[in-house]
Amino acid sequence: MNPIPYQDAVPLELRQQLQSTWSNAMFSRRAVAVRDTVTQSWVLLGCVLRPERSASMPPAAQCFAYEDALLSVDWMTAAECEAFLDSLVTGVVRLAGTVIAINRSPGCESQRVAIQNSWMDEPGVVFTLRPRIQPNPYFRRLLLRGAPYYPDPYEAARDWLRLREYHRETDARKGHFMVLLPETRAFIKSFEWRNEQELALEVIGPAAQSSQLFAKGAYWCGHGIDQFEVPVQGSTAVVNLPQDVQRLELFLLGADGTVFEHHLERIGDPGATRFLGGRRAGESHRVHHALREGEGVRIEFKEFVDLPKHREPVKDKDKLHQVLRTVAAFANTEGGTLFIGISDDCRVVGVDEFARVWTQAPLEQALEAYAGALRTRIRDAMQAPLAVSTSSIGVDDRVVLALDVPRSPSPVSLKSDGRLYERRGASNIAVPPAEWRRRWPSTP
């Protein structure tokens, strides 16, 4: 095996972090080694080094030696981590006294990861040294008195290496050395939706106090792309995002171009919508407030609203017709919100399953299609244009559809109904024609 040049063993960025940011930290080194089914030699299934912030006094090292597998954990200083990584150029490493053969590719890859990643529970950077050949471990049970039991080595690696995600034999990180360094210089600690469009990000860390930072990126609505760049003022950056955003890419950027954090989100990707998914959760207070207030001048509940086919007439007793009258009454009074997915007795039942069955599509697509169809039916039913909006709100593992109706400066009526409605209490009341001119002087 040809020696790897010194500068390729540990990249400069990792070396600098070990010598500065993490110089006083203790690192845990967790490793899983197995016998290769072909060579019969000990090979590495995985090794993870990470700083342990809470380890003022690190626990004692542990090693469990099974017949064909080895689990070990010990503790190292940052300087010892650097020396260990440099030593990998020799092609041999000792774990708990056992010689492990290393046949690694030259160089070291680095990857900056967002908070939702396969390695750790926070944003940061991952350094990876890859093997030339992946190991072929036995699928024997790890059964030994006084040691943890695992059905096979991959189950052991998933638990022992403590990666956020591990996909057993299909995981591509077999044989890798991984150094996981959480971002500490500047990162997004928390966020809140101040309203339906303003996303407020709280940024903390030494770099946030000492230099100017920016939240920069782009969002997509349909096929269009819009860019943004807003400064972090104090500890907060406010990004304006339309309600129909389908994709978001966001960087926490220093004035010199340093990337501290990066997020890429797409509606419909399970577990991958930290900010966009949080918009629904952030609006849940609207629903809880409405539940406390109950139905009234500005609030109406509907458990579900079936939408007849487009050419089918809307009957007077249909739920859709009731919704259309409520929309007109809201517009003619103070405006208001109709919450779909809440029963008359104020139980959150959600529109999730109803929308999914109605469209036969995945949840996010189903909700958008259902909301769009509802807006279209309202638009087509009104005599005058009315700018209603819809938003999906997550409440207790359910989704409620909020239909927001503004107050109209001119009277609003249905094309199929010559009456004008107004909201009185929780009811829609037809206004007698004699009162029309008094209520709306411009009415012909």
CA distances from 3 to 6, 44, 104, 106, 133 (A): 9, 19, 11, 9, 17
Q: Distance (Å, rounded) from C-alpha 76 to C-alpha 84?
A: 9
**What is the CATH number assigned to the segment(s) 187-281?**
2.60.40
Query: What is the tens place of the pLDDT at every residue in 189-217?
Result: 888 888 778 899 999 888 888 889 999 99
**Cα dist. 405→54, 181, 333, 339 in Å?**
52, 48, 10, 11
Burial string for 2-40 (b: 16+ CB within 10 Å, else e) reads eebeeeebbbeebbebbeebbeebbbbbbbbbbbbeeee
- Going through 144-281 in order, the beta strands assigned E by DSSP cover 177-182, 187-193, 198-204, 213-221, 224-231, 236-240, 247-254, 259-266
CA distance 57 to 237: 38
pLDDT tens for 261-296 read 888 887 655 455 678 876 655 567 778 888 888 899
Structure confidence at residue 26 (pLDDT)? 92
- The predicted structure's pLDDT at residue 127: 92
Domain at 284-439: CATH code: 3.30.950.30
Check whether 384 has a pLDDT greater than 90.
no
Worst-scoring range by mean pLDDT, 70-74, 195-199, 410-414? Answer: 195-199
In the chain, what are the domain boundaries? 6-182, 187-281, 284-439
What is the β-pairing status of strands 198-204 and 236-240? antiparallel
Contacts of 335 (CB under 8 A, 6+ apart): 298, 404, 405, 406, 407
User: What is the three-class DSSP state of 153?
Assistant: helix
pLDDT tens track for 134-178: 777 777 899 999 999 999 999 999 999 999 888 888 888 888 999
**3-state secondary structure labels for all residues of 6-72:** HHHHCCHHHHHHHHCCCCCCEEEEEEEEEEECCCCCEEEEEEEEEECCCCCCCCCCEEEECCCEEEE
Name the pLDDT band for 52 (thresholds 50, 70, 90).
Answer: confident
pTM exceeds cut of 0.75:
no
For the cut 70, the answer to whether the pLDDT of residue 100 exceeds it is yes
Residue with tokens 């577990």: 271
Backbone angles phi and psi of 363, in degrees to 5: -55, -55
pLDDT given at position 310: 53
CA distance 157 to 236: 40
